[in-house]
Each structure stands twice: as C-alpha cells, then as structure tokens.
Structure 1
Amino acid sequence: MFQPNMFENLHHQLVDMGHNNNNKASENSTSLDMLIRDDDHDAKSAGTDTLEPPNSGDDQDPNQHPNKKKRYHRHTQHQIQEMEAFFKECPHPDDKQRKELGRRLSLEPLQVKFWFQNKRTQMKAQHERMDNSQLRNENEKLRADNIQFKEALANATCPNCGGPAAIGEMSFDEQHLRIENARLREEIDRISGIAAKYVGKPALAYTDHVSSHGPSRSLDLPVSNFSSSQQGMVGEMFGANDLLRPPMAGLTETEKPIIIELAVSAMEELIRMAQIGEPLWTPTMSDNSSNVTLNEDEYMRSFPRGIGPKPMGLKSEASRDTDVVIMNHMTLVEILMDVNQWSNVFCGIVSRAMTMEVLSTGVAGNYNGALQVMTAEYQVPSPLVPTRENYFVRYCKQHSDGTWVVVDVSLDGLRSNTISRCRRRPSGCLIQELPNGYSKVTWVEHVEVDTGGVHDIYKVLVNYGLAFGAKRWVATLARQCERLASAMASNIPAGDVGVITTPEGRKSMLKLAERMVLSFCSGVGASTAHTWTTLSGSGEDDVRVMTRKSMDDPGRPAGIVLSAATSFWLPIPPKQVFNFLRDENSRSEWDILSNCGLVQEMAHIANGRDPGNCVSLLRVNSANSSQSNMLILQESATDATGSYVIYAPVDIASMNVILSGGDPDYVALLPSGFSVLPDGPGQYQSGVLEVGTGGSLLTVAFQILVDSIPTSKLSLGSVATVNSLIKCTVERIKCVLASNNL
C-alpha cells in the first residue's frame, strides 16, 4: 500500500536525479510537476482523468532513473458524480475524508487528492474568467461615462458672458483628463492591475495614457457628494438664526466639473503668485522685498482668465507675507481643511463659516485632493467695519516637492451675473515642512471688495491690507500656533506661577479661556447676524447695543444679555495701550467694577514668546462686600497686526472645579474686553515697516446680564446704565493714557 510520506521523499529524489537523461522505467515518477503541467488538460476534461499514483517504492532500485512515461487513470462516471457531490460540500477534504471516499469508490487516497486539486484549479480558472469578463464590462461602462462627461463639459457655458466655459489655460484634452482623474483614477488602476494579472495586458496601459497628458495638474482623486447633515458651523452665536444662509441650492452635475476646473486653475495661479517676484510684485522699499505691492497690469497679463475682470465699483486688495510657525505641516493642513478648527484658530478674522458641500475628501489618511464648497464671513473686531462674505471652493493638494497648498476662489458668479460686494480671487497659503516640527507658511490674500461702508478712522488700516490682508492671517496663525503648543504641554512649564498645581488644571483653564475668547470675538464685530442699535449721534464714540436671550446654555448665564460696544481713536501707540489694559496693577484705574480695589494675579500661564501672550486669574480685593474676593479670568494676546485683552468674572466655586481639572464647558461666562489695532502701517525704521508706531484704534465691548428671566422685556433703565458704564470706562482710559503720555 502507498504511504503518504513517500510522495514527498520521491519528489526530492527526482530533483536530485532530474539532470539524467536515461530512459529506465520507474513507477515512482514525479507528481507535482506533472500536476502543474497538466492543469489545463485536467480542467478541460472536467476532472475525468487523474495521474496514476506511484507504487510504494519499497523495491525501487535507487540507481534506476525515473521513466518519462506517465500513466493515467480515467475515472468512471459514478466516481466522478460522487466526487462532484462531495466537492460541493467540502472542496478541501482532509486525509481521513480522502481515505473514506477512496474506499467507497475503489480509489487510492492520492487519486482522490489529485482529483480534488484538479477540480479546484478548474473552478479557480472559471471564476477568474468570469471576473475578468465582468471587469471588462465595468471598464467599458466607465469609459462611456467619460464620454458623457466630455460632452457635458464641451457644451458648458460661462455664467458671466454666455460663451464657452474655458477656465484657465488648458486644452480640451487636459480638461477631459481632470474629470477622468477626479472620478475614475483609482478604479482604472484597479481594473488595469487585475487585467495584467489574469489576461496578461501591461498594467501601465491606462496609467501611461493619463500621465502622458500632464498629471502634474490633475486632481488625482475621486469626487463624492456629502449631504447637508455633514455641514459645520463655528461661532459663539446665541440662536439658530445666526447661521450663514447658503447662497444657492445644491450643486448640479454640470456645475461640479466647472468648479473642479476652477479650483485646479486657482491652485496654479496661487503657486505662481506666492513664488515669483518682479514685475508681478513690486517691493515697497528697495531694501526690504518682503513688503510688496501687486502690479495689477502685470497680473492681468499673467492671468488673463481666472474669474474674469474686476467689476466696476470694487477695489482690489492684494498682499503676500511669509513666516515660520511652530507647528507640524500636516497639522496645519488639517486646521485649514476642518471648518471648525479653521474658524477657532482665526476667530478674530472669521466670524462665521460653514461647509456647504464636499466634492472630494482626499486620499485615505490625509487631505491631498480634498475639495470643499464653503461660505464664510470675515470681520475686523469693531462694529465700524462691515464684514465680508464669500461663497468659495477650497482645494488642498500636496505637490511633488512635498509642499502643501490650500487655495480658495470665489464661486459667486457661478449661476448669475450678480456681483457680490466681495470677490475672492485665488488666495491661500503654501506650507513647507521644516525640521523640529516647524513649518514655513507663505500666504497670498487677493480680493476685490466694496470698501464704501468702512468708517473713516479704519480706512487707512483697511486700505493698507492690515485689516484683512496676508500679514494679519500669518501673524494670527503664528500666535495661535504658539498658544496651541503651550496648551499641549504635558507638564507645568517654569514660567507658570500661582495656584495651578496640576497639568489637568492648567489645560482646563486654557480651554475655558479659549471659549471666552471665541465668545468675545463672535460678538464684537459688524456681523450680519447682529442687530446693533446706535444710542447717540454720529460721532466716532457712539455706543452701539444689542440684546440676546440666553436659554439652555450651560456656558452662559440664563436671561437677557445686553451687549454694548464702541470704537475710537487714541493718539498713543498700540503697544502702550495694550500693556496698560492687561496690567493688573493699573486695572483699578479704568475698571469701574473693581471699585478701586487691589487686583492680585493668582495664576499665570504663558502661551507665547511675547510676554503679553498669557492667561491670568485675577483676584479683586474690594472694600465692597458684594465684590469681595471676586475672580476674573483674563487672556491677553498680541501680534504684529493687533492685540486683545478679554476677561470675564468667575465665581470661586467654579474656578476651584477648573483648577482641579474639571470640565470647563459648564462654567457660565459673559466675556468683555478690548481690541487694539494700529491706525495705519506705522513708520519705516531701517527699511522695515513697523506696525503700531502711530496711533491706536480701540474697541471696548461689554456683555452684561440685565435680567435673569429670558422672557422679560428689556428696560430703558438697563440700557442707560450700560451706556453710562461704557462711556465712563472710555473716559477713564483716555484720561489715564493721556496723562501717562505727557
């Protein structure tokens, strides 16, 4: 009887004897090699033939050479039917099952084994042929879809002029490839790979076709749609009516390829705008090339298409700035592509934002190729400067040199000829990875806007690009990166002092301060979500007020909240004003609520290189028993384009919870504070523009709980009290600063 382990021994023996060419007979010839060579024959014969098993080899002469003649055994119809039935139940029988089946069918176990091997090979070949046929049909269907897309793009018209929609400087073949790459690149690669494996066609048959038409400008990603339930909105607003209204309904299938082409063209324009110098950008000072002005004539020659010529009545604002920030490049990309994080980091600039539709999420694991349709409102922290609203597409891509680029471009004219008050030409940033977790950021900001509603005292600030320009975006980003680095510290740095004893308490206090800043910034500007009422004449010191009802919000006290704000000019440098307002030793000189009490700093968290960037916990020791031992949470922040001092009273019990690492979301806050902006670009010192060497634009904003019952009506007495409070505070600040500046 044949022994199973003899099969392996015989195979090794044949390997050693394989180079001999004599024709001596041997019944112990090879089986595995024969099986491989005869797979196709066995498959065609539906498993009716199998190799005759070798003898046990007990009397085999070791000097004999194997005979090349192979013996076959043809199974009976009954044997085949029985093994077919068994195969349906168990395609991989074990030794015991093969022996039992061979006993019933008068076959050797090795014959049974070979039959099942042949049968499995046959079934695999059939499945592969069926899969390949199905993949071929799917490929043809995808190619038919491509043709339909090409026809739709060829018939698309420009929404502004009615002519052919030729966006950017691209041929029709290149436009076709953008659409093909966006929808089908991954699918084509998968199909071509399978075809190469099973059919023998080269795997590069499809990818070579794509790359030959210029992959450097392709999206490289599939396009997908997301429902409105995935939209995001940021902003410390009180009610649902504060949501940004979508400028139009969902995008049509015809509009999506146009938006994709516009985004690709905007990406190319932004890269060129960020990298080239003269004559496109003209240095403001001969010895400082970082301060540049856009040559508009050269711009129109370099980029003749884009979103069209500048509409009548709009003013062009263009700026560029570069800085090194303390943040990993991938984290920066994530912040820019997540509407919530983006709005939080730039809360002093972005008052509200929402993602309307996601056309592409990017490749798995990052935002390379991500494409989002968004709407946002941009502000200056003062009710005297109108906000700017944009409806735009944001596109993110990683380029071959490792640089990440995030670009925005307006979609306002996509469906109508109506021109908005603000159009966003290709704007955004280039992010380059540097060692030790740093990144180099080059920012370009290019808009066309109606500046008619800006108050006179802010016009210079706006016209020089310090209000909405690239320098403000970069300076804000650099300061916020330092703050985020401080918040991520796993221990208590040596610069922190006071009653903070644990890292958890430090993080909770920073988180509470962050929410306080967000709430202040969302309610101090001229957002269209606000309804400001002017209390007095038309002078620059006018106090503007608005009321809101706070209900079911653990982060705010319930009741009627009255907000009041005023902006005015001071002939004092911004740095001096900022240092005066943030210093606890001078607080009693302007803070009426402190009632001339002694203010002591109980805790201090440094969150930036500038000493003015910090979070403090202040204690007011007042003679008034109702205000005795009152605590004030305060955050001060400053950068090259402006400063903030924001504070809110906090009760001792709540602060004890925070210092022990408790959840800060349930601490009720009503923040008040100041924003300090330069009144212009300042002066040149050694060829460098020094911001803040002139006067200051100071905004004072208070939030007061005037009634703890949300359904109550606001009394005129409450309005008069708040008006008197803010005017008295302004007069004190002016008086003290004027006397100190003598």
Structure 2
Amino acid sequence: MFQPNMFDSHHSFDMSHKTPEDDLDMLRDDDYESKSGTDIMEAPSGDDQDPNQRPNKKKRYHRHTQHQIQEMESFFKECPHPDDKQRKELGRRLSLEPLQVKFWFQNKRTQMKAQHERHENTQLRNENEKLRSENIRYKEALANATCPNCGGPAAIGEMSFDEQQLRIENARLREEIDRISGIAAKYVGKPMLNYPNMSPHGPTRSLDQGVTSFSPQQGMVGEMFGANDLLRSVSGPTEADKPIIIELAVAAMEELIRMAQVNEPLWIPSSENSSETLSEDEYLRMFPRGMGPKQLGLKSEASRESAVVIMNHITLVELLMDVNQWSNVFSGIVSRAMTLEVLSTGVAGNYNGALQVMSAEFQVPSPLVPTRENYFVRYCKQHADGTWAVVDVSLDNLRPSSVSRSRRRPSGCLIQEQPNGYSKVTWVEHVEFDDRAVHNIYKLLVNSGLAFGAKRWVATLDRQCERLASVMANNIPSGDVGVITTPEGRKSMLKLAERMVLSFCSGVGASTAHTWTTLSGSGADDVRVMTRKSMDDPGRPPGIVLSAATSFWIPVQPKRVFEFLRDENSRSEWDILSNGGLVQEMAHIANGPDPGNCVSLLRVNSANSSQSNMLILQESSSDSTGSYVIYAPVDIQAMNVVLSGGDPDYVALLPSGFAILPDGPVQYQGGIPEVGTGGSLLTVAFQILVDSVPTAKLSLGSVATVNSLIKCTVERIKAAVECLREEGMQHLGKAMFTHLLKQSGRSQERT
C-alpha cells in the first residue's frame, strides 16, 4: 500500500546511524568551509582530544598528492556532495580517511563559491560603470533639451503638481498633463536605463512555462506550479501608448490624493461600525474624466484604511516600487507579479517620478476564488509636504481586444513620515470585478471588500513590518526561547520560514498558473489537486509533488480556529502524521507583540518506540483580516546547520498548512454579535512527495491516498472545532444574558 512519502531520503529522521563525531562535524561545517586549497586540517573529535593540550597548540595539516587531488577533482565534477558511502569508497581508493575526503570536498565547494562570487562581482562592477555612463549621458541630453511649446528648459524637476497650486484646479491639471506628455513624446521613447529590479528572466518568482527552480541568490521562492503563463504573454506598451500612459498616471495620482484625504460627501460613514462606503454619485461628480463609466457585468468595490506601521517611509516606498519585495511582503495577496517596462526610474537618486508598467495577479488563499489579473501602470511621487504617494491604474483601454474580469481604478497609498522611523499609511483600493466565478461560501467575504480591500493590504503590511523588524534584530529578544543560541541561527531560521510561507502561498490559490483537478465530493468540500515535477531544485526534494487543497465553512470564529490549529498541545487531534505523539516546542521566535505571530520549531516524540522522532518548522501569523498556520517537516541534520547560522536555502521543504478567513463582516444586533455570524472559511492544503523519481508516472493509488489523507484531516478538524463551537455558544449565551440583564436594569431605572 502506498504511504505518503513526506519524509524520503531528504527528510529522514532516523538518528540511529549518527555518531557524536557526525554531530560535531555538522556544527563545524562553517569553520571548515572557510579553508581552501589542498591544505586540509585534521580535526580530532571530542574523544580524541587531550584535556591537557594547550589551546594554542599548532594544528597539523596534510598535503595531498597530485594523484589524490586529480581523482577528487574528477569526482567533484560528477558529484560535489558525496554521501558517507561515496566518501568511504573514495578514501579507500586514495588511502585517505573519510574525514579528510569530507574536508577536501567542503573546501573545494567553498573555493568554487568564492570564484563564482568574484566573477559575479566583476560583472556587476562592469554593469554599474555602464549604467553610470548611460545616466550621465541622459542627464546631459535632458539638461540641454528645450520645451517644444515655450522654448525654455525642459527640466524633469519642473514636472510637479506643487508648482501649480495657485492655478484653478482644472487648468492646473490640464497644464500638468500637457507638459509631461510633451516631454514624454520627445524623450521617453528613447532607450531607457536597465531598471535595477528587472532581469532578462523577469521577477524572482519565475514565470516561465514548465518546471521552475529556486536560486538562493534570488531571495524568493520560485513559482511553484508551472503552466501557460498569461502574465508573461502581456506585452509592454507601444511608443504610441506612452504619452497616454503618462496622462493616465498623472490623473490617477490626483484622484488618489483626493480619495485619500476627502471625507464626506465622497465617503459615507456607517453607523453600525467603523467602515465607510464610497458614494458613486459623488465620485462621478468629482472625477468626471477618470476611466469612464463602470463596465457592463462588473461590480464596483471601494475601501479606505489608515494605520501607523513600524517602517521608515523611504524604505516603504522602495518596497512598493521593487516588484520582488512587493510580491514577497504581500505574498498572501499577490500570487504573481512582474514589471513589463520602466518608463522612468525617478530623479534625484530616488523613486520620485518613477513610472512602471506592470502586470500582477491578486489572490485569496483558496482554489475557490479566481484571481484578479491586472495590467496597470504604477506611478510614484513625492509632494511638497514630504508625503509620498504610489498609485496604480489599469491600462485595459490600451488592450481593446482583451476581455477583463477585473479593472483597477486609481488605487494605492499615501505615506507620511512619523517620528522614530514609523510611517502613517493611508491605503485606497478601488476596483471593478466579476464575481460570477466565486464560490458561494466566499461571495459574502469578496463582496464585503474584506478579501481584496484596503483593510487587508494595511493589515498585511502592518504584520509584515513587525516581522521584518524581528528579522533585523541584532540580538536574541527575551521573548525567544529554545535551542537558538546565536543571532545568526535566529536569522537563518526566520529566512527558512519565510521561504516556506512563500512556497505555501504561491501554490494554494487559484492562480492562472495552476491547473486544479477536482477529485471527488460535492460543494465546497471538493478536494482540488495538482502536480508538478521537481528537478534540480535545492529548495524541494526531487520527484513528483502532489498538492491537495480544500476549502469549507465552519461555525467557529477565526480567532478560536487559529488558536486551536497553532497550539502544539492540540496538534495530535488533527495531525495524522504526529500519530498521537507528544509535540514539544524546541524553539520559539516572536514576530511582534501578538503571541500568535511567531516561528516555532516543534519536535514530535513518536508514541511508537520503533519510529524515529521528527522536527516540524511552523510559522503562524494572524491579523484582523485572516490567519495562517503553515508548517513543513525538516531534516534534523539540516536543521542543525540552520540553527548554527548556516545557509537555509538548500534545506528541502514541502509546506502544508491552513488559511483561515472570516466568512464576512460580523453583524451586530443590539450591541452584540448576531447568532450564526463569526464563522470561518478554512482552507486546508498539503504538499506531498508521492514519488522520488521525477520522470515517474503518477499512480491513481497515490492520488487516492492523498485524497483520503486530506479528507481524514478535515473530518478531524470538524470534529474538534465542534467542541469549540459548543464552548463558543455557551460563552455567547452568557454574553447575551448579561446584555439582557443590563437592558432590563436600565428599563427599571427609567420606570
């Protein structure tokens, strides 16, 4: 019978073959990696060391023969990472100890890495000089340019809203558009500088068709499941389109600022809660030019949210204008993104005036909600009061042949500098979308604006800023506990967890890169599956990976579901792999003041003595718009390297986990939540290695077993949360009873 191969040779947890010398060698890898050449230090094990030996005694070195070096060089070309058996065989043939062979290969890998870095640095220096020369040439050309209208200098620095503040509003805007369009028509069409955030292969998340791979230099996980890529098929703008794009961007910037700053009558506050709605009539009156009327068949959604986040305003602008950082930080919302063309890199060494044509897909973490694909321009501007603004606006009118299911009206954020490195962010989301393909259980969430609205963007940014502050900590905060003893080990573990989360988010939604197949069942409990072949990817084990996901509604508040799933003490109630074993938290890294936002290293002590223990890396995160509990089994030896500060990019991971969303806005009746509201939309997703041979064919037995695994997990969760629901109803009953008593007391007082 097939068994889910989540712990193959890359995830083996059998510790019976390990010796104390192996553990010591693992922890000393960084020391030996720093050696190079053929001088190999012989490191005595702890048992061989003389306790009376002086600490500064000269170490012994061995010089290999030319024959030994040639043989190991030849073997290195075929296999740079020999295992224990290969090292022993090579040592026997060359009359060397296995440890000597091991150290030689470690030094050789370090030497090759250093050579590669030197070559890369040389290329980067040459490219930098080329860019500097190009930059000087373009500055000189623009300095000598003249305006075609007035004959005066055409300095980009003059292109500002702020210099036109004393003019009448419509005349000011018209003049600004005319001036920028004139300069754009003459100069933007010239070859531009290569943008620093772009590469010939697109963004870091690979968008190529077929199987992709992860490069540790990229800093982000690659796209998990390859398919026909709609984003890459979108071409950049033509020369004739560029003046129109400039006009749209300038008008969108003006609209965003007013949308963010004006209250009533444009925004109508709600009396039931703190939300507000956009007055469509007032919007059309204030912005008659805009993008025109709403397209037939599309719904309109507008929202606004403000918050103070723990990030410097300049850093935040750079994050939004770098497509890799942007899609990384908002990985739960942005499934894929790329920059198609850069029309302007900005002036004065920053992003002021930067203009990019982009394409992106926005998602909800569930295969039941279609993604929203947008082709848009992003414009960044610094205003006279120091406020930065970044605005997006769709360019669908430049693609008349395409049928858009989503259109992005001017949306983005205003960023104001605050004391102590904080920033105040005011976010506006204004889109038109087609919700006909959204599953019924998600329609209330989507139509309420909680799925794609400004509140979710701001809540995600706030939580991610807290996480980034935790990553940049130079010491180990008092809230961290467990086996982490160095700041380097802490950073490595956080980096590994980040890659795990990115991989999970890139494979759980309904991206156009995914081809989901429904296995069985009916309604929202259908299990959707997709496969990929993993080859030459150090971030994942090689073979056939099967991803299975299902989404369903449960009548329990999201916070209670999140606390239940992230708690190691309740893990045995739903986790089939733990098999009733005791789960112990070995390490804990806090990612902000909320105790639910953390990275944990869990050890599952098997109840069966014949089975080996295993380690699980887990990251849990929660905010007002949703929660995640994401985890992945990790190899014990690989985790030891990470905890000692080693490179986590080569640790193979297959993340699984949960995405927990509210079922819609909570409705209030008489000051308390109505009975029946406050439920959760839960997505359960697994990634499982079903065959370690990438060229093998997927068997029906493997699919059936994975289907049974996810359904069994869902049944366990439903049974467990039913108890939570009963507890919640008891709590709600007490709250209602207390409320009625208070109301009765007030009535008697009035009488």
1:355 aligns with 2:342: no
- The 2-side partners of 1:291 and 1:316 are apart by 16
TM-superposed deviation, 1:683:
3.4
Q: Distance in 2 between matches of 1:420 and 1:551?
A: 35
Q: Structure 1 307/417 Cα, relative in aligned 2: closer, same or farther at 3 Å?
A: farther
Other-structure match for 1:258: 244
Match of 1:89 in 2: none
TM-aligned CA distance change 1:241 to 1:724, over 3 Å = closer
Q: Distance in 2 between matches of 1:281 and 1:495?
A: 42
Partner of 1:647: 631
1:716 aligned onto 2:716: no
Correspondence for 1:741: 725
Q: Which residue of 179, 183, 204 maps to 2:181?
A: 179
- 1:232 aligns with one of 203, 215, 234: 203
Q: What SS does the corresponding residue of 1:447 show, helix, strand or coil?
A: strand
In the alignment, structure 1 residue 661 sits paired with structure 2 residue 651 = no
On the 8 A contact 2:303/2:455 being kept in 1, the answer is: yes
Q: Which residue of 255, 259, 263 maps to 1:269?
A: 255
- Paired with 2:673 and 2:591, the residues of 1 have a C-alpha distance of 26
> Structure 1: how far apart are the matches of 2:186 and 2:348?
16
- The answer as to 2:374 corresponding to 1:390 is yes
Q: Structure 2 vs 1, CA of residues 688 and 349 (structure 1 numbering), >3 Å: closer, same or farther?
A: farther
Q: Which residue of 2 aligns with 1:279?
A: 265
Q: Distance in 2 between matches of 1:653 and 1:315?
A: 53
Give the deviation of 1:291 after TM superposition.
1.4
Mapped to 2, the partners of 1:353 and 1:244 lie a distance apart of 11
Structure 1 pair 717/637, CA: closer, same or farther in 2 (3 Å)?
A: same
Change (3 A) 1:556 1:302: same
1:550-593, Cα deviation, whole Å (9 max, x unpaired): 00000000000000000000000000000000000000110000
**1:470 alignment partner in structure 2:** 454
Indicate the SS of the match to 1:741.
helix
Q: Does structure 2 conserve the Cα–Cα contact (< 8 Å) formed by 1:318 and 1:469? A: yes
Equivalent position of 1:421 in the other structure = 405
Greater relative contact order (Cα < 8 A, sep 6+): 2
Question: What is the distance in 2 between the residues matched to 1:593 and 1:396?
Answer: 49
Segment drifting more, 234-243 vs 359-368: 234-243
Between the aligned partners of 2:672 and 2:508, the Cα distance in structure 1 is 32
C-alpha separation in 2, matches of 1:179 and 1:307: 18
For residues 138 and 428 of structure 1, the distance between their equivalents in structure 2, rounded to whole angstroms, comes to: 30
Q: Give how far 1:685 is off.
A: 9.0
What residue is the counterpart of 1:249 in the other structure? 235
Alignment check: 8 A CA contact 2:368 2:510 kept: yes
> Which residue is 1:378 aligned to?
362
Letter in 2 for 1:232: P
Aligned pair in 2 of structure 1 residues 689, 553: CA closer, same or farther (>3 Å)?
Answer: farther
CA contact (8 A) 1:572 1:694 kept: yes
The aligned amino acid for 2:394 is S
- The alpha carbon displacement at 1:330 in A equals 0.6
Q: Deviations over 1:308-346 (max 9, x none)?
A: 111110000100011111111111101100000000100
In structure 2, the residue corresponding to 1:320 is in which secondary structure?
strand
Q: Distance in 2 between matches of 1:639 and 1:555?
A: 28
1:593 and 2:564 equivalent? Answer: no
1:528–1:689: structure 2 CA closer, same or farther, 3 Å change rule?
farther
Q: Does 2:567 correspond to 1:583?
A: yes
Q: Tell whether the 8 Å contact from 1:560 to 1:710 is kept in structure 2 after alignment.
A: yes
Q: Are the aligned partners of 1:233 and 1:352 in contact in 2 as well (CA < 8 Å)?
A: no
Change (3 A) 1:456 1:658: same
Q: CA deviation at 1:624?
A: 3.4
How far residue 508 of structure 1 moved from its aligned partner, in angstroms, is 0.1
Q: Deviations over 1:644-695 (max 9, x none)?
A: 00000001100000000000000000000000000011134998999x9600
- How many angstroms does 1:739 deviate by? 2.2
SS in 1 for 2:525: coil
Q: Which residue is 2:53 aligned to? A: none
Asked whether the 8 Å contact 2:365–2:683 carries over to 1, the reply is: yes
Offset of residue 453 of structure 1: 0.5
Q: Does 1:340 align with 2:342?
A: no
Report if aligned partners of 2:265, 2:279 keep a CA contact under 8 Å in 1: yes
Q: Which SS does the other structure have where 1:518 is aligned?
A: helix
Q: In the alignment, residue 275 of structure 1 is paired with which amino acid?
A: Q
Alignment partner of 1:573 is 2:541: no
Aligned: 1:531 with 2:533: no
One-letter amino acid of the structure 2 residue matched with residue 273 of structure 1: M
CA shift in 2, pair 1:492/1:693, >3 Å = farther
Aligned residues: 554
CA distance in 1, matches of 2:710, 2:171: 56
1:494 correspondence with 2:478: yes
Question: TM-score when scaled to structure 2?
Answer: 0.70
Partner of 1:603: 587
Give the 3-state SS of the residue equivalent to 2:256 in structure 1. helix
Q: Amino acid of the residue matched to residue 177 of structure 2? A: Q
Tell me if structure 2 keeps the 8 A contact 1:225–1:359.
Answer: no
* Aligned partner letter, 2:192: S
Structure of higher CA gyration radius: 1
Question: How many angstroms apart in 2 are the aligned matches of 1:560 and 1:463?
Answer: 38
**How much does 1:413 deviate?**
1.2
Give the letter for the 1:570 counterpart. I
Give the percent of matched residue pairs that are identical in Structure 1 and Structure 2. 75
1:142 Cα deviation from its structure 2 partner? 4.5
Give 3-state SS (helix, strand or coil) of 1:481's partner.
Answer: helix
Q: What per-residue deviation string (whole Å, max 9, x for no partner) do you get for residues 94-145 of structure 1?
A: xxxxxxxxxxxxxxxxxxxxxxxxxxxxxxxxxxxxxxxxx99998974569
Q: Which moved more, 1:241-250 or 1:712-721?
A: 241-250
* CA offset digits 1:439-483 (Å, max 9, x no partner): 110000000010100001000000110000000000000000000
In 2, the alpha carbon distance for the partners of 1:321 and 1:586 equals 36
- Counterpart CA distance in 1 for 2:173 and 2:615 is 66
Structure 2 SS opposite 1:443: strand
Is the CA contact (8 Å cut-off) linking 2:265 and 2:282 kept in structure 1?
yes
Deviates more, 1:530-539 or 1:472-481: 530-539
Q: Which amino acid aligns with 1:177?
A: R
Q: How does 1:629-708 map to 2 (within 5 A)?
A: 629-684=613-668, 694-708=678-692
Residue 624 to residue 429, structure 1, CA distance change in 2 (3 Å): same
Provide the rounded CA distance (Å) in 1 between the counterparts of 2:323 and 2:656: 26
For 2:443 and 2:546, the matched residues in 1 are separated by 29
Shift of 1:417: 5.6
Q: Is the 8 A contact 2:560 2:724 kept in 1?
A: no
Cα pair distance change 1:512/1:264, threshold 3 Å: same
Distance 1:422 1:704, change over 3 A: same
Q: Which amino acid aligns with 1:283?
A: P
TM-score (structure 1 length as normaliser): 0.71
Q: Distance in 2 between matches of 1:263 and 1:689?
A: 43
Contact 2:531-2:546 at 8 Å conserved across structures: yes
Q: Match of 2:603?
A: 619
Letter aligned with residue 452 of structure 2: F
